Amino acid sequence: VHPVEMQDRLQQFQSLCRQRGLSLTVQRQRIFELILERRDHPTADQVYEDVKVHVPGVSRTTVYRVLDMLVDLGVILKAPSPGSSTRYDPMTRHHHHLVCRRCETLIDLEDAALDSSIQLPGAEQTQAFQIESYSIHFYGICESCRSGV
Ligand SMILES: [Zn+2]
Ligand SMILES: [Zn+2]
Give tens-digit pLDDT for 87-118: 999 999 999 999 999 998 999 999 999 999 99
Q: Which pLDDT value is given to residue 81?
A: 77
Q: How far from 135 is each of 79, 101, 103, 109, CA to CA, in Å?
A: 10, 18, 21, 10
Spatial distance between the Cα atoms of 137 and 107, rounded to a whole number of angstroms? 10
Pair 129, 87: CB distance under 8 Å:
no
> What distance in angstroms lies between residue 52's CA and the mean position of ligand 1's atoms?
27
> What distance in angstroms lies between residue 16's CA and the mean position of ligand 2's atoms?
22
> What distance in angstroms lies between residue 124's CA and the mean position of ligand 2's atoms?
30
Pair 68, 49: CB distance under 8 Å:
no
Ligand closest to 76 (CA) is 2
> What distance in angstroms lies between residue 18's CA and the mean position of ligand 2's atoms?
27
Spatial distance between the Cα atoms of 77 and 72, rounded to a whole number of angstroms? 9
Ligand closest to 41 (CA) is 2
Number of Cβ within a 10 Å radius of residue 79:
22
Spatial distance between the Cα atoms of 65 and 99, rounded to a whole number of angstroms? 27
Type and span of the H or E element at 99: strand 96-100
Which residue, among 134, 135, 133, 141, has the nearest Cα to 97 in the 3D structure? 135
Lowest average pLDDT, out of 11-25, 75-89, 94-108, goes to: 75-89
Q: Where does the pLDDT of residue 18 fall: very low under 50, low under 70, confident under 90, or very high at 90 and above?
A: very high
Number of Cβ within a 10 Å radius of residue 56:
7
Q: Where does the pLDDT of residue 2 fall: very low under 50, low under 70, confident under 90, or very high at 90 and above?
A: confident
The pTM of this model reads 0.86
Q: ∠ CA 105-107-111 to the nearest 5 degrees?
A: 155
Number of Cβ within a 10 Å radius of residue 75:
19
